[in-house]
Amino acid sequence: MRKLFGFMIGILVGGLVGSTIALLLAPDSGETLRGDLRERGLAFQAEIRNAADVRGIELRERLEELRTPPTV
């Protein structure tokens, strides 16, 4: 129990120190930084969707190849 409590305190303190350092060293204002993060997130989401679509097409084509009987 003591180890778990110490670990949880360490996570809390580490999170507070990390977030404080991040705020102090942030290159832009909060609004600008949030906008940049939002744009990056949306771009990343679009890339993931595109990759999933491409992979889905590849898998459907492969499935069709496997479903068609082999020609002798």
Neighbouring CB atoms inside 10 A of 58's CB total 10
Measured CA to CA in angstroms, residue 47 lies from 39, 40, 51, 71 at distances of: 12, 10, 6, 38
Is the pTM for the entire model greater than 0.85? no
For the chain, the structural domain boundaries read: 2-67
Q: Give the amino acid at 27.
A: P
Tell me the pLDDT tens digit for each residue of 8-64. Answer: 999 999 999 998 888 778 777 778 878 888 999 999 999 999 999 999 999 999 999
- Residue 68's SS3 state is coil
Token output for 12? 């809390």
Kindly state the greatest CA–CA separation across the chain.
71
Label residue 6 by pLDDT band (50, 70, 90).
confident
Q: What is the pLDDT of residue 31?
A: 84
